[in-house]
Amino acid sequence: MPKIIVTEEQWIQKGIERFEQGGIEQLVIEKMAISLGCSKSSFYWYFSNRSSYIRQIVETWKEQTTQQVIASSIVHATADERIRDVLTRMFGTTKRGDFLFYLRKLSLKDDTYHSILDEVEQMRIEFMQQLFIQKGMQPEKAYRTSWMLYHYYLGWYERHKQETFNDETVQQHVHMIWTEWISI
């Protein structure tokens, strides 16, 4: 039987998938190795221990979910287009697991993750604040609007995370948010 080579990236992506389904309790190396079709010794080829693995999972998730959204919105020319794109991504993506929920839970036990969580949330709020400033909002109002929108999103996602929305429903929701909070 040929030996299956599993990359570090595959281990990390599997870890992200499992973490968002149940937190660190789902990161059982033996079970993940079976799922990846390899031996658990390949895990130790890339990671010195489970703690370093968890840290890498969180860092990769941070990069993928925050930095990529910010980078992808740059393709739009105007602040309005960028804001609408970010809102569409926020409210158009459900059924993706609860990574943020489990990270928040982990952060209660480990200050390292509390710092990462704070950094991610502050980065997201400040990014939206800058878009609102580009749109013409005063900085203080832009920050308050960003803060309120982010916290609204957290509750909205918790309420709707098991649902699937079509494009028309997402756009209606984005329009409602635009009309109530963003129009200046």
- Interhelix angle 111-135/50-62, nearest 10 degrees: 10
Residue-level pLDDT at 34: 93
What pTM does this model have?
0.83
**Which percentage of the chain shows pLDDT scores above 90?**
61
Residue-level pLDDT at 57: 97
Asked if the structure places residue 87 within a domain, the reply is yes
Name the residue range of residue 159's domain: 57-182
Q: What's the total number of domains in the chain?
A: 1
Asked if the structure places residue 176 within a domain, the reply is yes
Write down the mean pLDDT value for the chain: 89
158 pLDDT above the threshold of 60? yes
> Please, what sign has the CA dihedral across residues 136, 141, 144, 145?
negative
Asked if the structure places residue 37 within a domain, the reply is no
Cα–Cα distances in Å, from 134 out to 34, 90, 102, 149? Answer: 49, 20, 33, 17
Asked if the structure places residue 28 within a domain, the reply is no
CB 145 within 8 A of CB 181: yes
Which residues, 6 or more positions from 57, have their beta carbon under 8 angstroms from its beta carbon?
A: 12, 15, 16, 19, 27
Asked if the structure places residue 101 within a domain, the reply is yes
Asked if the structure places residue 139 within a domain, the reply is yes
130 pLDDT above the threshold of 50? yes
Asked if the structure places residue 23 within a domain, the reply is no
Burial class (CB in 10 A: 0-12, 13-18, 19+), 43: buried
Q: Give 65 or 51, the one with higher predicted confidence.
A: 51
1 pLDDT above the threshold of 50? no
**106: domain CATH number?**
1.10.357
Asked if the structure places residue 21 within a domain, the reply is no
